[in-house]
Amino acid sequence: MTVLLSGRWSAAEGERWAQLLREAMPEEQWLLHPPRNAAEAAAVEVAVVANPEPGALSGLPNLRLIQSLWAGVDRLLQDPSLPPGVPLARMVDPAMNEAMVHTALWAVLSLHRRFFELQVQQRQALWQAPPQLRAAECTVLVLGLGELGGRTAQTLAGLGYAVHGWSRRPRELAGVQIWQGEASLAQALAAADIVINLLPLTPQTRGFFSAERLAQMRPGACLVNLARGAHVDEAALGAALDRRHLRHAVLDVFQQEPLPPDHPFWPHPQVTVLPHCAAQTDPRTAVPQVRVNLAALRAGQALAHLVDRGQGY
Ligand code: NDP
C-alpha cells in the first residue's frame, strides 16, 4: 500500500518518524507529504498523520484510512477539508498512557501533600509543616474516563484516594464512584478537592471550565488540566485563583501554545505551568500500533481505536 506521512512538525522530526515507520513496515510504499503529482496522490491508500496542516488530506481519491500518531484528534476534526467517510483511527499508546498516569499522580501528590507550597517556603527559608491528610480524606474527581482518565482514576483509587469519575456513558471502574450527565456535574465538582480534566476537546466540552463551572468547584479546590487548553476560560481561572476560590492549578495545556512569555500564568504563585509534556507519543510503542492497523486494513479486519466523528472523539 502507498502510505502518505503528513505532520505539523520540523523536517527533522518528520524524517525521524518516516525512518522508523519505513523500518517497521518495509512492505509499504512511504511518501512524505505532499504527493509530487496526481498519480502519486491517487496511489495513496493510507495517511499517517500528526496534526497535518488543514487541507493536507484533500485530493487523495483512494484514501481508505487516516491513522493519527497523536491521541487527540480535535485539531484534525476541525479541518473542514478532512475527507468525509474515511475511517479515522487515533493513537492509543501504552507508553503515553503510563506517562499520563505519572503526571497526574505527581500533580495529585503535590497538591494533596502541599509540596508546591513547600517549594515556595524553601525559597523564603520558612520552616513550617503543612497539615497531613490521609489519601482517603482527599477527593479527586477525574473528568473523562477513557484511555487516560480511566487509568488515572484506577491508579489513584489503588493508592487510597477517594476517587470520583465523570463520563458520558455508563462506566464501571473498581473503587471509583461514577457520576454521569450534566445534572450530576455540579454535585461532583462541589465534592472534589482536586479536579483532573481528561476530557476530549469536542463542541460539547470546549470552554468547559467557564466562570460558572469554576464557581461550582469546592472553595480551596485545585484544578489539574492535562487535556486541552480550550477546555478552560483562562481569564476566569486566573480570577478564581486570585480571589482564592481555587488554591492551585496545574496546567499542561493552554489556549495558546507555547504559552506567551507575558502570560499571567507564568509568574502566578498558584499556577504550575508544564509545556504540554504530560504524555507524549512514544515511537517505540506507537509504531507497532500503526503496523497493527495497516495489517488489519490489508486483511479487511476491524480497525483499532476508530474515532466517532459525530461525537468528536
Ligand atoms: P478517550 O477518548 O479515550 O476518553 C474520553 C473520555 O471523555 C471518555 O470517558 C468519554 O466518555 C468522556 N467524554 C467525552 N465527552 C464527554 C462529555 N461531553 N461529557 C462527559 N464525558 C465525556 O480520550 P483519552 O483518554 O485518550 O484522552 C483524554 C484527553 O487527553 C484528550 O483531550 C486528549 O487530547 C488529551 N491528551 C493530552 C496529552 C498531553 O500531553 N497533555 C497527551 C494525550 C492526550 P465515554 O466513556 O462515555 O465515551
Q: What number is the average pLDDT over the span 260-277? A: 98
Is there a single domain that holds both residue 177 and residue 293?
no
Mutate to test the pocket of ligand 1, among 168, 189, 226 (most ligand atoms within 8 A of CB): 168
Q: Is residue 313 part of a domain?
A: no
Using the predicted structure, report yes or no on whether residue 20 has a pLDDT greater than 90: yes
- Cis peptide preceding 258, ω within 30 of 0: yes
Using the predicted structure, report yes or no on whether residue 308 has a pLDDT greater than 90: yes
Is there a single domain that holds both residue 194 and residue 154?
yes
Tens of pLDDT, residue by residue over 141-161, are: 999 999 999 999 999 999 999
**Residues 257 and 263 sit within 8 Å (Cβ to Cβ):** no
> What pLDDT is stored for residue 303 in this prediction?
98
Using the predicted structure, report yes or no on whether residue 181 has a pLDDT greater than 90: no
Is the Cβ atom of 188 under 6 angstroms away from ligand 1?
no
Containing domain of residue 205, as a range? 94-273
Is there a single domain that holds both residue 151 and residue 258?
yes
Is the Cβ atom of 224 under 6 angstroms away from ligand 1?
no
> What pLDDT is stored for residue 36 in this prediction?
96
Instruction: Please tell me the residue having the least CA distance from ligand 1 atom 19.
Output: 168
> In a 3-state reduction of DSSP, which class is residue 265?
coil
Q: Grid coordinates standing for 84? A: 468525509
> In a 3-state reduction of DSSP, which class is residue 131?
coil
Q: How far is residue 223 from each of residues 143, 245, 262, measured CA to CA in Å?
A: 11, 11, 22
Distance of CA 58 to the CA centre of its chain: 26
Count of the separate structural domains present in the chain: 2
**What distance in angstroms lies between residue 155's CA and the mean position of ligand 1's atoms?**
17
Write out 195-230 in H/E/C secondary structure: EEECCCCCCCCCCCECHHHHHHCCCCEEEEECCCHH
* 180 CA closest ligand 1 atom index: 20
**What distance in angstroms lies between residue 204's CA and the mean position of ligand 1's atoms?**
12
CA distance 209 to 216: 10
**What distance in angstroms lies between residue 143's CA and the mean position of ligand 1's atoms?**
8
Tens of pLDDT, residue by residue over 232-245, are: 999 999 999 999 99
Q: Is residue 83 part of a domain?
A: yes
Provide the whole-model pTM.
0.97
Active site residue 276: yes
CA distance 132 to 285: 39
**What distance in angstroms lies between residue 20's CA and the mean position of ligand 1's atoms?**
28
Instruction: Please tell me the residue having the least CA distance from ligand 1 atom 8.
Output: 146
Is there a single domain that holds both residue 141 and residue 192?
yes
Is there a single domain that holds both residue 109 and residue 198?
yes
Q: Is residue 305 part of a domain?
A: no
| CA-wise closest residue to 186 among 218, 230, 153 | 218
Q: Is residue 175 part of a domain?
A: yes
Q: Grid coordinates standing for 197? A: 480534566
**What DSSP state is assigned to residue 255?**
S
CA distance 165 to 185: 10
Q: Is residue 308 part of a domain?
A: no
Is the Cβ atom of 237 under 6 angstroms away from ligand 1?
no
Using the predicted structure, report yes or no on whether residue 254 has a pLDDT greater than 90: yes
Using the predicted structure, report yes or no on whether residue 98 has a pLDDT greater than 90: yes
Rounded to 5 degrees, what are φ and ψ at 251? -125, 125
Instruction: Please tell me the residue having the least CA distance from ligand 1 atom 31.
Output: 200
Directed axis angle between helix 283-299 and helix 11-24, to 10°? 50
**What distance in angstroms lies between residue 75's CA and the mean position of ligand 1's atoms?**
14
Q: What number is the average pLDDT over the span 165-171? A: 94
CA distance 186 to 199: 16
Is there a single domain that holds both residue 155 and residue 240?
yes
Mutate to test the pocket of ligand 1, among 167, 208, 277 (most ligand atoms within 8 A of CB): 167
> In a 3-state reduction of DSSP, which class is residue 157?
helix
Q: What number is the average pLDDT over the span 89-102? A: 98
Strands (E) across 99-172 are located at: 139-143, 162-167
Is there a single domain that holds both residue 290 and residue 155?
no
> What pLDDT is stored for residue 134 in this prediction?
98
> Per this entry, what is the length of the chain?
313
- Tell me which of 75, 113, 245, 276 is the catalytic residue: 276
Is there a single domain that holds both residue 145 and residue 12?
no
| CA-wise closest residue to 77 among 111, 59, 51 | 51
Instruction: Give CA torsion, residues 91, 68, 72, 36, to 10 deg.
Output: 160
Q: Is residue 71 part of a domain?
A: yes
Write out 60-71 in H/E/C secondary structure: CCCCCEEEECCC
Is the Cβ atom of 227 under 6 angstroms away from ligand 1?
yes
Rounded to 5 degrees, what are φ and ψ at 27? -75, -20
Q: Is residue 312 part of a domain?
A: no
> What pLDDT is stored for residue 39 in this prediction?
97
Instruction: Please tell me the residue having the least CA distance from ligand 1 atom 12.
Output: 144
Is there a single domain that holds both residue 78 and residue 225?
no
Query: Can you give the CATH number for the domain in which 249 is found?
Result: 3.40.50.720
Is there a single domain that holds both residue 139 and residue 253?
yes
Tens of pLDDT, residue by residue over 32-70, are: 999 999 999 999 999 999 999 999 999 999 999 999 999
Q: Grid coordinates standing for 246? A: 481555587
Is there a single domain that holds both residue 180 and residue 262?
yes
Q: Is residue 310 part of a domain?
A: no
Is there a single domain that holds both residue 32 and residue 87?
yes
